[in-house]
């Protein structure tokens, strides 16, 4: 149900995207970490409206099965109201990414998402936050979403591939 709401919200996302103009990357990071630290408690994330997001096959923990050395992303909890607002704000990521650890979920990253068509209608280049250009995912993706831009920020789990890499070799879905 949450996945369907997430998809619907993405499809009807507003056309305005807001980034934190004028902030330094370090300031953006500090603000983002402080604003999202509360979601280390999954119950708080759920209470704030974040719900489990599964892919088209019903898989909740997203891993690179064909290339296990790349690691995984983990389990995504998305907030449809944020996905659907068409805005990007460092304090309110559209998704929270949790790593399975000992039968529990531990906050590892936040993810910012905006539909490509909504962004491109008003911008000449891909979005960026923290001095990082967003990744592009085409339509026909594992989530069944239209083409979108996204940026993972591994603020709560170190990532040898880089703070803003999609995949984290230290994360596993096993």
pLDDT in tens, 106-160: 999 999 999 888 888 888 999 999 999 999 999 999 988 889 999 999 999 999 9
Looking at residue 23, what is its pLDDT? 47
Q: Is the pLDDT of residue 103 over 50?
A: yes
pLDDT tens string 3-45: 433 333 333 333 223 333 444 678 889 999 999 999 999 999 9
Query: What's the domain range around 52?
Result: 2-153
Q: Is the pLDDT of residue 91 over 90?
A: yes
User: Are 20 and 90 contacting, i.e. CB atoms less than 8 angstroms apart?
Assistant: yes
- In a domain? residue 59: yes
- In a domain? residue 158: no
- In a domain? residue 174: no
- In a domain? residue 118: yes
- Strands, E assignment, 24-90: 51-53, 61-63, 72-78
- In a domain? residue 172: no
In order of 14, 77, 117, the CA distances from 154 in angstroms are: 26, 15, 26
In order of 28, 98, 122, 159, the CA distances from 40 in angstroms are: 19, 9, 34, 17
- In a domain? residue 159: no
- In a domain? residue 66: yes
- In a domain? residue 167: no
Those residues with Cβ within 8 angstroms of residue 65's Cβ, 6 or more apart along the chain or in another chain: none
Rounded to two decimals, the pTM is 0.84
Our count of domains for the chain comes to: 1
């Amino acid at each position: 149900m949450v996945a369907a709401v997430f998809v619907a919200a993405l499809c009807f996302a507003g056309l305005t995207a807001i980034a934190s103009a004028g902030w330094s990357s370090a300031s953006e990071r500090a603000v983002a970490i402080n604003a999202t630290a509360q979601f280390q408690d999954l119950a708080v994330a759920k209470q704030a409206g974040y719900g489990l997001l599964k892919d088209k096959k019903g898989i909740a923990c997203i891993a690179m099965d064909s290339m296990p050395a790349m690691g995984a992303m983990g389990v995504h909890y998305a907030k449809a109201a944020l996905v659907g607002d068409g805005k990007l704000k460092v304090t309110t990521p559209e998704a929270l990414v949790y790593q399975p650890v000992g039968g529990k979920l531990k906050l590892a990253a936040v993810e910012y998402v905006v539909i490509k068509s909504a962004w491109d209608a008003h911008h000449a280049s891909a979005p960026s936050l923290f001095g990082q250009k967003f990744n592009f995912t085409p339509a026909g993706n594992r989530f069944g979403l239209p083409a979108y831009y996204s940026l993972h920020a591994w603020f709560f789990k170190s990532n040898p591939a880089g703070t803003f890499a999609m995949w984290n070799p230290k994360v596993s879905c096993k």
